[in-house]
Amino acid sequence: MSSKYNRDQYADGPKSGDPAQRGGDSEGAQKVQLSAEEIAALLAESYLGGRVVSRTEIEGQEDTDSRSVEELETAEKEREARRRQRVQEMRRRKRRQEQMRRLLLPCTVAVVVFLIVAGLGISRLVRKHGNQQNTLPPRETGEFVLNGDGADKQGEDSSEETSDPETSDQKTSDPEILDSETSDPKVPDQKDSDQEITYASDLSIAGCYVGSIVADTISEELAQAETRIVRTLGGRSTEPVLTASEDGATASPNSDVVSENAVFIDVEAGLIMGQRGAQNRIPPASMTKILTVLVAAEHITDPDDTFEITQDIIDYSFVNRCSNAGFEVGEKVTVNDLFYGTVLPSGGEAAVALAVYVSGSQEAFVELMNEKLDELGLSATTHFTNCVGIYDDNHYSTVYDIAVILKAAYDNTYCREVLGVRTYKTSVTQQHPEGIDLSNLFLRRIEDRDTYGEVVCAKTGYVDQSGNCAASLQVGNNGKIYICVTAHSSDTWQCLRDHVALYQQFLSGQRSLSGIS
């Protein structure tokens, strides 16, 4: 079939005698009856060397484009993640550099001071053994050089200088002589008659420059050491244990004070300003809880941890007729709430819960309390059998010992806060959706009285055998710390009035000292 015949076929359509017209050859019919898309494809292939994309291919291309967009978004997210990682790494590196900058100055100062002291010591040692000139030659890199006066002089010049110290000093101080003597750049200038310690020019202070391997190693070691440090609430105080004694000016409380046992101490002076039966044995009642919170604070690291109140704890408090903070069986309260519940309302269940949280049982916790008494030097006159203050023949103390315990608790920053808060609301729990309002009534009532200062810590107590008792610590108008402890008062209000009377009796003259009217 010629090309002319083919063009005619496409141009004019099928002839009457074609197989397609007869319907006998379907394949021939398909070749003759071309669609518009097929004609366009033929034209593109013939004249442009391209092809026409079908609808199916177009839809496939759209799917490909959508997948490309998703891949681009994924790639962008990966780049953003890597960017954040780089930023975090830069921040960590910056923190390490800041740590090393803090270390660099102390290290440098320590090394310089050590070398200066060593140099002075060597200098004195040399002069002690005579005026003979001793010179240590410069050593290799990384070691210091000890140079004496006229260190480059030898033979007769050296012997002459050592025989005449004044001449030696003059020669050493002469700039021309110094220039000639220090022509070697490795030998430092000799400006003083005393021997000097100098560093080699390329000496690095322990290699502790920022970014060095040594600096990074030190930083890593410090970070590891930090993780091993156990930081309890308030830490362990380094303040000395309170000791106080009487002198000729120590007086007895006046007639306004009803309490049978009382002590008033000037902490800074270590002086008992007033006392009445201060060393007599008493049942300490809930003043015991001062030591309870102190021992607990020294063994607890997380105040936000939670503890579930058990039936045994509630039963113990109920059977012994203790005052309570208001926690219920099954209630999960924070350790922080237990501290405030122990002090402010003098909660028996809160105190026992603290003991169980720390040691697993009240008995084990009481052992820690008595160990603390021994540490404070009070084991001969004070002994506890419970952490609440319940009366027991073997649960005893003195008002003086309670003052020592209060001072130790005041020295713990966490206990100082707990013992000094007027009001506190516990955390929200299922049993108490709005929390529990707690209050230190002694502090709230005494703050309206004139005590020539501010009472900043206090804890009260009561059992039948000791009557009403209380321990308070005040910062006077003169800035000094005073502690007042009383026992065997007639009622709650009289106990408060006894403290006010003692502050007024022994601090009435402090107003003029402080200049406050």
Share of the chain above pLDDT 90, in %: 52
Average pLDDT over residues 254-276: 97
The confidence score (pLDDT) of residue 446 equals 97
Tokens of 197: 């310690």
Q: Which of 108-122, 433-447, 491-505 has the lowest mean pLDDT?
A: 108-122
- Residue whose C-alpha is closest to residue 387's, from 474, 312, 296: 296
Average model confidence (pLDDT) across the chain: 79
pLDDT at 95 over 60: yes
Residue 321 pLDDT > 80, yes or no?
yes
Alpha helix (H) ranges present in 247-361?
288-297, 311-319, 335-343, 348-359
Rounded-to-integer distance, Cα 401 and Cα 263, Å: 10
Judge whether residue 215 has pLDDT over 80: no
Q: Which residue has the higher pLDDT, 484 or 88?
A: 484
The secondary structure of 144-167 as a DSSP string is: -EEE-TTTT--HHHHHHHHH-HHH
Q: Among positive and negative, which fits the CA dihedral 120, 122, 128, 131? A: negative
pLDDT of 235 reads 84
Confidence at residue 383, expressed as pLDDT on a 0 to 100 scale:
98
Contact yes or no for 264/364 (Cβ under 8 A): no
* Residue 437, SS3 per DSSP: strand
| Residue type for position 218 | I
Model pLDDT, residue 16: 46
- Highest mean pLDDT: which range of 25-34, 75-84, 337-346: 337-346
**pLDDT tens figures, 331-346:** 999 999 999 999 999 9
- 13 versus 36: the higher-pLDDT residue is 36
Give the CA diameter of the chain.
149
Q: What is the pLDDT of residue 108?
A: 83
List of domains in the chain:
3-48 (no CATH), 261-509 (3.40.710.10)
Alpha-carbon distances of 440 from 24, 220, 485, rounded to whole Å: 113, 46, 17
Summarize the confidence of residues 146-150 as an average pLDDT: 42
- Mean pLDDT across 199-204: 42
Q: Given a cut of 80, is residue 373 above it in pLDDT?
A: yes
Res 283: pLDDT: 98
Q: Give the pLDDT band (50/70/90) at residue 167.
A: very low
Burial class (CB in 10 A: 0-12, 13-18, 19+), 465: middle
Mean pLDDT lowest among 95-104, 390-399, 462-471:
95-104
Confidence of residue 187 (pLDDT cuts 50, 70, 90): very low
> Which of 32-46, 192-206, 291-305, 477-491 has the lowest average pLDDT?
192-206
pLDDT of residue 182: 44
Average pLDDT for residues 179-208, to the nearest whole number? Answer: 46
Tokens describing residue 178 = 């110094």
- Residue range 103-128: mean pLDDT, rounded: 79
What is the C-alpha separation between 269 and 160, in angstroms, rounded?
Answer: 64
Tokens of 257: 């004070």
pLDDT of residue 369: 98
Top pLDDT among 19 and 382 is at: 382
Mean pLDDT (whole number) for 400-427? 97
Give DSSP secondary structure letters for 386-424. -SS----TT-BB-HHHHHHHHHHHHHSHHHHHHHH-SEE
Q: What is the model's pLDDT at position 118?
A: 81
pLDDT of residue 141: 43
Q: Where is pLDDT greater, at 328 or 154?
A: 328
pTM of the prediction? 0.59
- pLDDT for the residue numbered 5: 42
Per-residue confidence band for 1, with pLDDT thresholds at 50, 70 and 90: very low
User: In this prediction, what percent of the chain has a pLDDT beyond 70?
Assistant: 67
Smallest CA-to-CA distance from 424 within 288, 333, 486 is with 333
Query: Residue 137: pLDDT above 80?
Result: no
Separation CA 284–CA 384 (nearest Å): 9
